[in-house]
Structure 1
């Protein structure tokens, strides 16, 4: 995974090389068909360069605008967290983790979760591990005794703090 600075540098270099190559192709091409090919390719190549730059700038803007956020991002899960719902839950938690900041943290509300199995605890463990890598504190709240026991056995206790629940 490249850093934001590397992505920005890549997008700028890609755009510069694209423009230079296009200019050289149009300026010094001897045959008419190569000029047409270059002219036809210009919009596609420029579009790719603009997309790379736009994505990089959006990521930078989002990161800078979120640094001031002091409130936690709260995700409320409901129902059962098992193999059937693990992929969807992982996507939601990943989106929330990306929006969370080190100052605010990520809070996962498990008050309405009835059942959690190994696949569900693996999703929470992966999210907590990624958040720890990003220095985002994770808090699990409202976990019932059965859910808390499953999370304890999965080793999640080392990565998160618990609030408003009972010990296993």
Structure 2
């Protein structure tokens, strides 16, 4: 009788882990018709302790090659935790070392507040591309 309960609990754990893994979906691409040294990184979902390392890795990966500007679209990111801010801070530091610029696109007030609270306002550029 305990086995079905254990399987059910294990299934819940697997579903929760899958949810964390899929919390931030992202894409990285060179912008067609734009400067080939600009890379767009699109993030989706909360940026928190569970996925901050993957977010940082994705942004750092975009710094390869001749990249001089990384545009990070956060229009589909509702919240950034302090861990998420730290991941972006690491990306900012790496970008500055290579001379690349990081531009945050379409940040919600909540995301801007989190990045401001982390002290990233003076090293990031914000740009709104969509009308709210």
Normalised to the residue count of structure 2, the TM-score between the two structures is 0.67
Aligned partner of residue 133 in structure 1, secondary structure: helix
- Of the three residues 86, 102, 106, the one matched with 2:52 is 86
Between Structure 1 and Structure 2, which shows a larger proportion of strand residues? 2
> What is the CA deviation profile of residues 41-81 of structure 1, one whole-angstrom value per residue up to 9, with x for unaligned ones?
xxxxxxxxxxxxxxxxxxxxxxxxxxxx6441000000010
Q: How many pairs align? A: 95
RMSD across aligned positions (CA) = 1.6
- Of the three residues 107, 112, 136, the one matched with 2:76 is 112
Structure 1 residue 137: Cα displacement: 0.9
Q: Distance in 1 between matches of 2:120 and 2:66?
A: 19
Q: Aligned residue for 2:42?
A: 76
**Unaligned regions of 5+ residues in structure 1, if any?**
1-68
Structure 1 segment 143-158 matched on structure 2, within 5 A:
143-158=107-122
> What is the CA deviation profile of residues 10-44 of structure 1, one whole-angstrom value per residue up to 9, with x for unaligned ones?
xxxxxxxxxxxxxxxxxxxxxxxxxxxxxxxxxxx
Alignment partner of 1:128 is 2:80: no
Aligned partner of residue 88 in structure 2, secondary structure: helix
Between Structure 1 and Structure 2, which shows a larger proportion of helix residues? 1
Judge conservation of contact 1:132–1:159 (CA < 8 Å) in 2.
no
Judge conservation of contact 1:129–1:159 (CA < 8 Å) in 2.
no
Judge conservation of contact 1:111–1:143 (CA < 8 Å) in 2.
yes
Q: Distance in 1 between matches of 2:60 and 2:126?
A: 20
Q: 1:82 to 1:99 in 2, by over 3 A?
A: farther
Q: Distance in 1 between matches of 2:99 and 2:117?
A: 23
Structure 1 residue 101: Cα displacement: 2.1
Structure 1 residue 88: Cα displacement: 1.3
